[in-house]
Amino acid sequence: MSDRIIAACDGAAKGNPGPAAWAWVIADVHGHPERWESGPLGRATNNVGELTALQRLLEAVAPGTAVQVRMDSQYAMKAVTQWLPAWKRNGWKTAAGKPVANRELVESIDALLTDRDVEFRYVPAHREDGDHLNAIADQAASDAAVSQEPAGTALGHASMPVPAQARSTPARSAPARGASARRTAGAAPAGGPEAAKSAPATRRTSPGRGGVTIKAKFPGTCPCGKQYAAGEKISKLGSRWGHPDCGDADAG
């Protein structure tokens, strides 16, 4: 049996930007949740929440521990497993010549991944048949975004957050389940077969190309897999609409 532990992380922002938070949950090799933590970020974007959640999770896992990280953020996962080499070569500029968003967080995660065996696995959010660990992390991040208070087993909160039923409805559009990428000990992120498997169904483009940001009349799902609410600001990302910051995922 594999000795790779299983973990999940998620970020949340009530508005984009808005009150934000991060959360992670760590299970044993059998997938049974053992410990979790969440923390507030004040006012931040959803992408900052997602990257911070991954950063805090890696800080909580001993460097020599093989771990599978489950997450519903295509942006955060691909930033550190696929796009990072090109960003470094381009002087931390995207293919469109813009500064890479959230660079300090990405650099911190890159350093934490050095000499670690980490397998990333994409899991769709808000699915009735979705990943249980991701649902726990999602709820913990959402609760912390609202309360702006830290929580977790280290603070005496022994029970796991229970995902609300309303947050377990099927996503209207999501990339294929189970896509994965990997960072093995001492390896740099790269493209190739493993990275290709994690490619989303729709390529995201920078909102600056469309130049239009509007308030959503109806709720929907961003290409990153996260939902946006009616009244929330959205931008045109390729052929779809989504969070303006998700256009930062354009790596070309």
List the catalytic residues.
10-11, 50, 72, 126, 138
Note the maximum CA span of the chain. 51
Question: Token pair 């992408």 is at which residue?
Answer: 47
Output the six-digit token pair for 211: 């130049």
Please list the alpha-helical segments (H only) found in 27-150: 46-60, 74-78, 84-89, 103-113, 132-147
Q: Please state whether beta strands 180-183 and 213-215 pair in parallel, antiparallel, or not at all (unpaired).
A: unpaired
Beta bridge mates, 45: none
Question: Token pair 């004040």 is at which residue?
Answer: 42
Burial class (CB in 10 A: 0-12, 13-18, 19+), 156: exposed
How far is it, in rounded angstroms, from Cα 68 to Cα 126?
Answer: 20
Q: At what angle do helices 103-113 and 46-60 cross, to 10 degrees?
A: 20
